[in-house]
């Protein structure tokens, strides 16, 4: 039992050596294992933080670009609406001007046609008057040349009316 008791007893010298051994192992682990691992973890954390910051910056830039794009789009729409409105206004004014010009031209043509009709009517009346005057002269000449009776007088009138009818 002594043998077993020697295994269970605490020897202060061995205890101290084991504690020192443990401390030395901890220092070695800290120096060669813990610090490099901590350094790698810190580098990874810094890289992740940088990537997150870059992503946030890219997101902010994208939001700014989106706002600028929307503003440009709204401005372009407003400008397009203004151009369309101006074009419609110009087209309406131009169509009014064309209709007015067409009406004025039609009125002018109508007036000229009425003047031409009046002139032709006067010419026709003057020609008829001249023709009637010539016929009257012919009749008068025939009457003067001979003495006419009622039957001849009626024949001359009928001939005069027939000639006036043909002239008209």
Chain segment 129-139, per-residue pLDDT in tens: 888 777 777 77
* Location of structure tokens 């205890």: 15
CB 131 within 8 A of CB 167: yes
> Rounded to an integer, what distance in angstroms lies between the CA atom of residue 106 and that of residue 102?
6
Confidence of residue 161 (pLDDT cuts 50, 70, 90): confident
Contacts of 132 (CB under 8 A, 6+ apart): 164
Between 35-44, 56-65, 73-82, 131-140, the lowest mean confidence (pLDDT) is in: 131-140
Are the beta carbons of 135 and 164 closer than 8 angstroms?
yes
Query: Positive or negative, the Cα torsion across 29, 30, 31, 36?
Result: positive
Tell me which residue has tokens 């050596």.
17
Is the pTM here over 0.75, yes or no?
no
């Amino acid at each position: 039992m002594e043998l077993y008791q020697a295994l269970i007893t605490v020897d202060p010298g061995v205890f101290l050596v084991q504690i020192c051994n443990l401390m030395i192992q901890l220092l070695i682990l800290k120096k060669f294992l813990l610090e490099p691992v901590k350094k790698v973890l810190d580098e990874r954390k810094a890289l992740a933080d940088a990537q997150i910051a870059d992503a946030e910056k890219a997101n902010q830039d994208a939001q700014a670009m989106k706002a600028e794009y929307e503003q440009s789009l709204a401005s372009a729409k407003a400008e397009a609406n203004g151009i369309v409105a101006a074009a419609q206004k110009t087209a309406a004014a131009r169509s009014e001007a064309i209709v007015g010009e067409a009406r004025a031209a039609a009125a002018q043509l109508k007036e000229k046609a009425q003047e031409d009709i009046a002139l032709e009517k006067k010419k026709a009346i003057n020609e008829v008057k001249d023709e009637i005057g010539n016929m009257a002269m012919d009749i008068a000449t025939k009457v003067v040349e001979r003495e006419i009776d009622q039957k001849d007088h009626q024949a001359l009138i009928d001939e005069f009316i027939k000639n006036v009818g043909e002239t008209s």
